[in-house]
Structure 1
Amino acid sequence: MMVGTLRVRMRVREARSLKDKRQVVRSILDRLRSAFSVAAAEVDCLDEHQVADLGIALVGPEAQPLHRQLEQIRDHLRRHPIAEYLSGQITVDRVLD
């Protein structure tokens, strides 16, 4: 079994408070979950009102399809109209049986 992860840092330019940021982050995470069938959560920078670190994960039998799907997600996030994509790292690893 393979596990693919994508860690993304985004800037929520319009956020003036944590409440503003959480509204945007919640929308991003909900869309990722429904469009790509992945597990997604905010994983760091929880107290910064303009920066969000997101973690996205999925599992499958082969590495290449996971990597392609994570690249699609990364490209999707780069086009987000409100949150600016700052950086991202894709990792695909075999889980020991």
Structure 2
Amino acid sequence: MVVGVAKIELFFPEPNSLKAKRQILKALIQKIESNFRKVSVAEVDGHDHWQRTVIGVSLVGRDHPFVDSRLTSLVDFIQQHSALEIVKVEIDYLNY
């Protein structure tokens, strides 16, 4: 069993308020959850910053290539979102 954990720092160039950022982030998380059914996603830092946030994503799978492929696809999916930019991505794997 392999657990993949991604920490993704995002920058929002467009919103000029915390409310606008939260609307964009909520829509992004819903899209991730509907397109990547077996992942967990949450905002883990930057709650009070209106142009930056950090989301955490986790996934459990049977082998490393599967988990790596899914997390890479998820990062690519986020990069396609026009209302934000990825600043930094950290991915760690735990093998059991």
Bin of the TM-score, shorter chain as denominator length: over 0.9
Alignment pair present for 1:13 and 2:13: yes
Matching of residues 51-66 of structure 1 within 5 Å: 51-66=52-67
Q: Which runs of 5+ in 2 are unaligned?
A: none
* Whole-Å separation in 1 of the counterparts to 2:45 and 2:52: 9
* Whole-Å separation in 2 of the counterparts to 1:80 and 1:89: 19
The AA in structure 2 aligned to 1:29 is I
Instruction: Give 1:34 deviation, angstroms.
Output: 0.7
* Whole-Å separation in 2 of the counterparts to 1:52 and 1:45: 4
Instruction: Give 1:57 deviation, angstroms.
Output: 0.7
The AA in structure 1 aligned to 2:48 is D
Aligned to 2:33: 33
Q: Secondary structure at the match of 1:80?
A: coil
Aligned to 1:23: 23
The AA in structure 2 aligned to 1:19 is K
Q: Which runs of 5+ in 1 are unaligned?
A: none
Instruction: Give 1:87 deviation, angstroms.
Output: 1.1
Give runs of ≥4 in structure 1 deviating > 4 Å: none
- For residues 29-62 of structure 1, the C-alpha deviation after alignment (integer angstroms, 9 at most, x for no partner) is 1111110111101100111000010111110111
The AA in structure 2 aligned to 1:48 is H
Matching of residues 38-49 of structure 1 within 5 Å: 38-49=39-50
* Whole-Å separation in 2 of the counterparts to 1:36 and 1:91: 18
* Whole-Å separation in 1 of the counterparts to 2:88 and 2:76: 11
